[in-house]
Amino acid sequence: MSKRTEADTQTAHRLAELWEANAALWARAISEGRIPSRRQTDTAILTSISRHGGGRVLDLGCGEGWLVRRLSSEVGCQVTGIDGSPALIGAARRAHPGGDYRHMTYADFVAAPEAVGGSYDAVVVNFALFDDLAHELLAAAASRLTLGGALIVQTLHPWSSAADDYRHGWRIENFADIATEGEAWVPVPWYFRTLEGWVALVRDAGLTVADLREPRDAQEKLLSLLLVGRRTR
């Protein structure tokens, strides 16, 4: 298992800066529904939380807060959302004044996971794992779970996002699929993992893989990978 170096810390800071630069554009793209697959993947994560978690939920990388809002209003969960982007946390609070949204980077959370309280019935990371040392984040997340609690991770399916290079490594997202004319998105690096790598990541956090699903669209195109890890000890 890798240990975080100064270079890793600098990479994390740079990723945070890039996402902050895109925060307003991202919030607008989500509000305008520019990602067609969201209908299926949003339903997939909500269904998984209802099946495996519910109750008290921690949303890591909550962004503009859509999942916190829907879990609160539709499922009846008590939800805390954290994100490292001040702009996205601000947008979440404006959209949902009664919600529990906290500005906290992943590094902050890894350093002091107890700061968000506990224990949670589910910790969710929905399309929000981008660096190569995500095992630190998931281990910290696992520490916040009740016994029997679930870590629920949804990400791009590696078989559909490999781009003919099925190896772990850094890739670049330029947001061309959702950008509209005149928008100046900043390209952002993200770390690609194989299916085996994602399963290992959950197990390395000390969790038992309890479920693995592959949401698809009407044409059977793979949209995402959804993994559930259960705290059994």
pLDDT tens figures, 10-52: 877 888 899 999 999 999 999 999 999 999 999 999 999 999 9
Containing 89, the helix (H) or strand (E) segment is helix 86-95
- Residue-level pLDDT at 78: 96
CATH number, span 6-230:
3.40.50.150
Q: How confident is the model at residue 133 (pLDDT cuts 50, 70, 90)?
A: confident
Structure token digits, residue 129:
């794992």
pLDDT > 70 fraction of the chain, expressed in percent and rounded:
97
* First-to-last C-alpha distance (Å) of the chain: 21
Average pLDDT over residues 108-135: 92
Beta bridge partners of 159: none
pLDDT above 80 (res 220): yes
Question: Mean pLDDT in the chain?
Answer: 93
Q: pTM of whole model > 0.75?
A: yes
pLDDT above 70 (res 1): no
The tokens 């980077």 sit on which residue?
A: 105
Q: Which of 192, 142, 137 is nearest to 163 (CA)?
A: 192
Q: What does the longest C-alpha to C-alpha distance in the chain come to? A: 52
Q: Measured between alpha carbons, how far is 231 from 233 in angstroms, rounded to an integer?
A: 6
Residue pair 223/217 in contact (Cβ under 8 Å)? The answer is: yes
- Residue-level pLDDT at 4: 60
pLDDT above 60 (res 225): yes
